[in-house]
């Protein structure tokens, strides 16, 4: 199953170093039957994009935690790792949520999606507002939208080490 794993820059660096990504709580996102049902229309590619967008929002949550711990040197960039691994449905979470057992080996990674430098200000603001947005704060949701207006750049697995090295 193609899954989209929310991550951060430090998680990406550890993936390059250790040869595997360890998803936070084993949580990832995918085109699940429940996600498919929540959309009235859309082809496979559009629905996969929706799953990736859920993972990008979850990446904001991870960044919010890192920034809250005082790790301000972490690049304010959403990271989503697309991989082909076995996963089980998580009906207790969002429509596209799945659980992965264990880590994601580099050999299973299909691509990495990362914000560009131009998105960093919007992403930093959104990471600090994601919890409030989840609780219905419209101003916070606006900040999330500002970050979502930035498209994630696509990287081939062969480019990940170089991407991390450039920092």
Residue 65 belongs to a domain:
yes
Residue 36, judged by CB atoms within 10 A of its CB (0-12, 13-18, 19+), counts as middle
Residue 162 belongs to a domain:
no
Extract the residue ranges of the chain whose pLDDT is less than 70: 70-71
Residue 166 belongs to a domain:
no
Residue 107, judged by CB atoms within 10 A of its CB (0-12, 13-18, 19+), counts as exposed
Number of domains in the chain: 1
Residue 138 belongs to a domain:
yes
Residue 110 belongs to a domain:
yes
pLDDT at 46: 86
pLDDT one-digit tens code per residue, 141-153:
999 999 999 999 9
What does residue 28 show for φ and ψ, rounded to 5 degrees? Answer: -145, 180
Three-state SS string across 43-77, please?
Answer: CHHHHHHHHHHHHHHHHHHHHHHHHHCCCCCCCCC
Residue 164 belongs to a domain:
no
pLDDT one-digit tens code per residue, 120-146:
999 999 999 999 998 999 999 999 999
pLDDT at 120: 94
Residue 167 belongs to a domain:
no
Alpha helices in the chain (DSSP H): 9-18, 33-37, 44-68, 120-134, 138-148, 160-166
Residue 127 belongs to a domain:
yes
Strand 88-89 to 79-84 pairing: unpaired
Count of beta carbons in the 10 Å neighbourhood of residue 93: 15
User: Nearest-CA neighbor of 84 among 106, 102, 62?
Assistant: 106
Host domain of residue 118: 2-157
SS3 assignment, position 113:
strand
pLDDT at 93: 76
Strand 20-21 to 104-105 pairing: antiparallel
What does residue 86 show for φ and ψ, rounded to 5 degrees? Answer: -75, 140
pTM over the 0.95 mark: no
């Amino acid at each position: 199953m193609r899954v989209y794993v929310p991550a951060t820059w430090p998680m990406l660096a550890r993936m390059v170093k250790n040869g595997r990504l360890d998803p936070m709580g084993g949580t990832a996102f995918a085109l699940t039957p429940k996600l498919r049902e929540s959309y009235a229309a859309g082809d496979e590619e559009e629905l996969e994009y929706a799953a990736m967008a859920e993972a990008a929002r979850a990446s904001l949550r991870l960044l919010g935690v890192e920034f809250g711990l005082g790790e301000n040197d972490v690049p304010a960039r959403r990271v989503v790792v697309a991989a082909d691994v076995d996963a089980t449905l998580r009906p207790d979470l969002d429509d596209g949520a799945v659980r992965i057992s264990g880590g994601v080996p580099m050999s299973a990674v299909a691509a990495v999606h990362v914000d560009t430098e131009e998105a960093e200000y919007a992403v930093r603001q959104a990471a600090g507002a994601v919890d409030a947005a989840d609780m219905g704060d419209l101003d916070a949701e606006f900040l999330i939208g500002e970050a979502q207006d930035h498209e994630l750049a696509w990287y081939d697995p062969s480019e990940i080490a170089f991407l991390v090295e450039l920092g």
